[in-house]
């Protein structure tokens, strides 16, 4: 796991897997192609969540949190077992929660009430991922030699 310092400052201090960090540093175009903001376009529930949440929480952009999660949800494409794939998914979702908290907590000039509201939304989005994100994660993956 990496705490990234990026030239553009977008991902500074956020955490990401070695796979995502390596792609960001060595293949930035490939990294960018995975990013679609908060939410998924796979399935109607995910599209609804994407529309409902948007890329900001009370005016604060959380797009960088979503970008990292998008990359980690797209790569790697193959896993030796369902258990390994689920372990990867769980770790990526956990990093999203932590990154969202980092973004909110380091935001200056916000009231304690606004901070609590933003943190609530980060946690709500994390719960949506846990409940509805499986289809998006497994689409296009090969697990134990079987394409999903």
Rounded to 10 degrees, the C-alpha dihedral 120/17/30/36 comes to -10
- How far is the C-alpha of 114 from the C-alpha of 102, rounded, in Å? 15
The pLDDT assigned to 72 comes to 95
Over the Cα atoms of the chain, what is R_g? 15
- Provide the pLDDT for residue 6: 60
pLDDT at 104 over 70: yes
% of the chain residues with pLDDT over 70: 94
**Tokens 């916000």, residue located:** 110
pLDDT score for 12: 81
Which pLDDT score is estimated for 66? 93
Q: Quickly list H helices, the chain.
A: 18-26, 28-34, 44-53, 63-74, 82-105, 112-132, 134-138
Per residue in 28-86, pLDDT tens? 999 999 998 888 777 787 778 778 778 889 999 999 999 999 999 999 999 999 999 99
Beta partners for 2?
16
Per-residue pLDDT tens digits for 113-145: 999 999 999 999 899 889 888 988 999 999 999
């Amino acid at each position: 796991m990496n705490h990234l310092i990026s030239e553009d400052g977008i991902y500074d201090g956020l955490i990401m897997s070695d796979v995502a960090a390596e792609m960001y540093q060595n293949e930035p175009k490939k990294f960018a192609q995975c990013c679609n903001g908060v939410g998924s376009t796979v399935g109607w529930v995910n599209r609804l969540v994407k529309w409902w949440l948007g890329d900001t929480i009370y005016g604060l952009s959380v797009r960088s949190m979503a970008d990292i999660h998008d990359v980690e949800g797209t790569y790697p494409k193959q896993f030796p077992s369902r258990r390994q794939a689920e372990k990867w998914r769980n770790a990526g979702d956990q990093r999203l929660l932590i990154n969202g908290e980092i973004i909110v907590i380091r935001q200056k000039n916000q009231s304690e009430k606004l901070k609590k509201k933003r943190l609530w939304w980060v946690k709500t989005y994390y719960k949506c991922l846990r409940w509805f994100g499986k289809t998006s994660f497994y689409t296009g993956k090969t697990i134990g030699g079987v394409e999903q």
